[in-house]
Amino acid sequence: DGGITQSPKYLFRKEGQNVTLSCEQNLNHDAMYWYRQDPGQGLRLIYYSQIVNDFQKGDIAEGYSVSREKKESFPLTVTSAQKNPTAFYLCASSMVARGTGLGYTFGSGTRLTVV
Amino acid sequence: GEDVEQSLFLSVREGDSSVINCTYTDSSSTYLYWYKQEPGAGLQLLTYIFSNMDMKQDQRLTVLLNKKDKHLSLRIADTQTGDSAIYFCAERGRDDKIIFGKGTRLHILP
């Protein structure tokens, strides 16, 4: 079955460390997205990519980096520059198809905690 | 700019109907969506409505769209404990990106 997989489900980071969150999809979707979710804040867009080897900053890109070397994969690195990284991170994907009702398909999330 | 607003909490007794409301600002929105998020999980698409429709029904779910007032609602009939979740309203805007509201936490009272 096609889907979008995030790993790990739980991740612990020490102060000053970089960590990378994995997101893989086998839906043949063109676009991929990273969101951060904090209680009461809803979803905030970190980065998105509509095509391989290209990506754009979202609303809260500072302290994060991404790459899109393959269509299936869109890893997110939380760098030491991100001062408050504890949150729930969600990856999503979609077809780039204007004028359709296709929504985003979400992964099951990674909960990152700074220790 | 584009914005989607919804109340943060709703409490409903089991067996009653739940109505979750949402307002949006982009009059050129093409599609509007309702997503459900259970604890510790990702978002799951519940239903969507095209902007030229005013109602869509799918089993216990009814979506009403008032395009003039830019108001969207989700009615869940016969609310069950399994409906306890966060419900996100979202719109597909003019640049084809989907903008999400902050989510409404639905709490079911016994």
Let me know how long chain B is. Answer: 110
Look at A42 and B103 and tell me if their CB atoms are within 8 Å. Answer: yes
Look at A106 and B96 and tell me if their CB atoms are within 8 Å. Answer: no
Is residue A43 less than 8 Å (CB to CB) from chain B?
A: yes
Is residue A111 less than 8 Å (CB to CB) from chain B?
A: yes
Helices (H) and strands (E) in chain A, counts: 0, 11
Look at A90 and B30 and tell me if their CB atoms are within 8 Å. Answer: no
For residue A96, which residues of chain B lie inside 8 Å, CB to CB? 96
The 3-state secondary structure of chain B, one letter per residue: CCCEEECCEEEEECCCCEEEEEEECCCCCCEEEEEEECCCCCEEEEEEEECCCCEEEECCEEEEEECCCCEEEEEECCCCHHHCEEEEEEEECCCCCEEECCCEEEEEEC
Look at B48 and A98 and tell me if their CB atoms are within 8 Å. Answer: no
Shortest distance, CA B20 to any CA of chain A (angstroms): 16
> Is the bond into A8 cis (omega within 30 degrees of 0)?
yes
Is residue B30 less than 8 Å (CB to CB) from chain A?
A: yes
- For A48-106, the pLDDT digits (tens) are 999 999 999 999 999 999 999 999 999 999 999 998 999 999 999 998 766 667 789 99
DSSP secondary structure of A91-112: EEEE---TTS----EE---EEE
As averages over each run of 10 residues, the pLDDT of chain B (110 residues) reads 87 97 88 94 94 92 95 97 96 83 95
What does residue B63 show for φ and ψ, rounded to 5 degrees?
-105, 130
A42, A48, A109: residue with CB nearest B42: A109
- For A11-45, the pLDDT digits (tens) are 999 988 999 999 999 999 999 999 999 987 889 99
